[in-house]
A and B are shown apart, each in its own frame.
Chain A
């Protein structure tokens, strides 16, 4: 038995808009192991959500379109080939999703209890009583006190943190093998974020579900994930274990991300080093490396040809011409990686 739950290969997704084709995802490949927590990071608009939504087939066609690639789930299920009905079944029973704003995915006209039991009854064909019992268990599991009274409440009667817990309960209802959390704590206060992350960590240990967490907060990545994917302009530019990416990053974009954020534990605090400019337009992505225009190390070849991934270890790879054997040696800036604090 393979220990891979999800295998994404050369996935390309575009949106057809009146202004033209937006190439949102331009060839993304990665594997997710059973029980693993994988983080996807990158600037706004780099294709994190579209990647996640395509795995769950949540982006409507049209306007979105899977141009090529494969998404293999649980061994032999080719997600890109499933009918809408088959997909609906998988979503209800094998995959769960948690969004940034629980209000948009919770039904405002339905009680919390009803929303949890609905999926259970549909996909597991259990009795009303059994479903109710399971709903109470789930609310307990996600740390909601007085579940008996909470199941009778509507989403608007709950706080943001509580709604996110309910979303998590719903997504866990059918013991999914894969949980995708798209910025699950971005809208929450830090003390509530800490509660939710703690909860997700515990759940991944208890349930052995694999988790993909999308975030722009590198702190959350360091806290939760075993592996991380760095995306830029619709592509993966670097991936590896958290230690590899934080302590030995290879792509100048990853360096840029690490240098542009302050650390709470830094003393003195020199200047932050911003990444100049903005990401390219995905209507007409550049011919070469998409990061070249913002990259201080860009060479002629970077403008002309997109680099392939260079494999550094079993888990670690980066797509950068600097890794070519003939490329000039570039010293990684000290603030980017390699800083293991005492």
Chain B
């Protein structure tokens, strides 16, 4: 039998009460398994619920319903020592490397924050650990005594990654960790993520809207639309044979840096915009923009099902 996935998310929902009796279904249907050592990419357009899903998985939000199992245990039921252990095992890296670093703390102290909270090391051992982390992420020892504003965007992101690694997590949720960086620097940080995964056996949930980059770094990818996971499959499969009409148009919208290909390419240009999550369409969330919509799409919401081995899609066409 296959090893138990490190993360199992079952029918997770996160609804926000936004006042006036209105409910915003930020995440409405979301089920995934992530294997140990895997990189799972989560993509979708702005506001589709990627960050909310990540935050609910790491328990920054309580799920409205459903289950999040980490190493087989329901994280929303943890308390005491087990909760502390969970907080160590799962860490988050954020999009804006500057806003997430305390400007008044030295880089060394920022990186050691988790070490201090969890009382892992003190004195010379703490110092040695910080130096090791700095070198792991490609910074050097003198950087420990400097302040975040003295660093470039890419360097700040390295500091954020070192901070997340400090307490030896098993699982890292990276929420748009490279979106704020220049293209040449994005490659530096992505390669760092890959190297650290290899060295430390990490598992990643990698959230981003740049599908080419997500495809590059991920083993499998989940596509979200308006709070729902609509397709999950391997990175290669997603590009080679997308099944959901939304995935198809998303792929088609991304220009490829190759003039000849671009001259030949026929685009599927989606009409209109993503509906408001406060007032989503009945049935399938995508049907109002879907070039293949059928009458039944308005009547019933399709559920995510496995239509080929390892390839899941939520669409009435399948």
CA distance A194 to B186 in the complex (A): 23
Contact A194 B267 (CB under 8 A): yes
Contact A43 B183 (CB under 8 A): yes
A305 at interface, CB cutoff 8 A = no
If A265-B239, A265-B261, A271-B191 touch, does A222 touch B255 (CB 8 Å cutoff)? yes
Residue in A247, A256, A263 whose CB lies within 8 Å of B256: A263
If A161-B273, A189-B209, A264-B215 touch, does A222 touch B45 (CB 8 Å cutoff)? no
CA distance A339 to B256 in the complex (A): 12
Chain A's closest residue to B258 (CB) is: A222
B307 at interface, CB cutoff 8 A = no
CA distance A143 to B225 in the complex (A): 24
Contact A257 B255 (CB under 8 A): no
Q: Is the interface of B mostly helix, strand, loop or mixed?
A: helix
Query: Contacts of B269 on A, CB cut-off 8 Å?
Result: 191, 194-195, 198
Binds B, one of A2-10, A107-115, A211-219: A211-219
Query: Contacts of B186 on A, CB cut-off 8 Å?
Result: 260-261, 274
Contact B259 A222 (CB under 8 A): yes
Query: Contacts of B194 on A, CB cut-off 8 Å?
Result: 271
CA distance A193 to B249 in the complex (A): 12
Chain B's closest residue to A225 (CB) is: B259
Contact B259 A190 (CB under 8 A): no
Contact B236 A221 (CB under 8 A): no
Residue in B152, B187, B236 whose CB lies within 8 Å of A272: B187
CA distance A216 to B194 in the complex (A): 24
Chain A's closest residue to B261 (CB) is: A341
Contact B253 A191 (CB under 8 A): yes
Chain B nearest CB from A249 CB (Å) reads 12
B213 at interface, CB cutoff 8 A = yes
Query: Contacts of B267 on A, CB cut-off 8 Å?
Result: 194, 198
If A222-B261, A272-B216 touch, does A260 touch B273 (CB 8 Å cutoff)? no
A273 at interface, CB cutoff 8 A = yes
Chain B nearest CB from A341 CB (Å) reads 6
Chain A nearest CB from B240 CB (Å) reads 8
Contact B256 A274 (CB under 8 A): no
Q: Total interface residues on B, using CB and 8 Å? A: 41
If A278-B152, A339-B258 touch, does A264 touch B191 (CB 8 Å cutoff)? no
Contact A189 B187 (CB under 8 A): no
A44 at interface, CB cutoff 8 A = yes
Chain B's closest residue to A221 (CB) is: B257
Contact B251 A216 (CB under 8 A): no
What 0/1 readout, one digit per residue, does chain A (218-231) give for beta carbons within 8 Å of chain B? 11111100000000
If A192-B273, A217-B255, A222-B255 touch, does A273 touch B236 (CB 8 Å cutoff)? no
Chain B nearest CB from A215 CB (Å) reads 10
What 0/1 readout, one digit per residue, does chain A (63-94) give for beta carbons within 8 Å of chain B? 00000000000000000000000000000000
Residue in B45, B46, B184, B212 whose CB lies within 8 Å of A274: B184
Report A314-342 residues with CB < 8 Å from chain B CB.
339-341
CA distance A66 to B103 in the complex (A): 36
Contact A219 B257 (CB under 8 A): yes
Contact B212 A261 (CB under 8 A): yes
B308 at interface, CB cutoff 8 A = no
Chain B nearest CB from A111 CB (Å) reads 21
Query: Contacts of B128 on A, CB cut-off 8 Å?
Result: none
Query: Contacts of A162 on B, CB cut-off 8 Å?
Result: 273
Contact A219 B184 (CB under 8 A): no
Chain B's closest residue to A294 (CB) is: B184
What 0/1 readout, one digit per residue, does chain B (246-275) give for beta carbons within 8 Å of chain A? 000111111111111110000101100110
A206 at interface, CB cutoff 8 A = no
Query: Contacts of A44 on B, CB cut-off 8 Å?
Result: 182
Contact B184 A246 (CB under 8 A): no
If A159-B273, A198-B267, A264-B251 touch, does A275 touch B184 (CB 8 Å cutoff)? yes
A258 at interface, CB cutoff 8 A = yes
Contact B253 A43 (CB under 8 A): no
CA distance A311 to B140 in the complex (A): 42
Contact A216 B183 (CB under 8 A): yes
CA distance A315 to B216 in the complex (A): 34
Contact A264 B254 (CB under 8 A): yes
Of the listed residues B187, B239, B257, B260, the one surrounded by the most CB atoms of chain A closer than 10 A to its CB is: B257
Query: Contacts of A271 on B, CB cut-off 8 Å?
Result: 191, 194
Chain B nearest CB from A203 CB (Å) reads 15
Query: Contacts of A339 on B, CB cut-off 8 Å?
Result: 258
A269 at interface, CB cutoff 8 A = yes
CA distance A243 to B258 in the complex (A): 8
Chain A's closest residue to B270 (CB) is: A191
What 0/1 readout, one digit per residue, does chain B (270-290) give for beta carbons within 8 Å of chain A? 100110000000000000000
Show 14 residue pairs from A and B whose CB-CB distance is below 8 angstroms, ordered by the A residue. Answer: A189-B45, A191-B45, A195-B269, A217-B255, A219-B212, A220-B255, A222-B258, A261-B186, A265-B239, A265-B256, A271-B194, A272-B190, A272-B216, A278-B154
Told that A259-B187, A265-B256, A272-B191 touch, could you supply 6 new A-B pairs with CB distance under 8 A? Answer: A219-B212, A219-B255, A260-B184, A278-B154, A278-B185, A339-B258
Shortest 10 CB-CB distances between A and B: which pairs? Answer: A219-B255, A262-B216, A274-B187, A218-B257, A194-B253, A275-B184, A272-B187, A260-B187, A223-B255, A189-B45
A interface, CB within 8 angstroms of B: 43-44, 159, 161-162, 189-195, 197-198, 216-223, 242-243, 246-247, 256-267, 269, 271-276, 278, 339-341
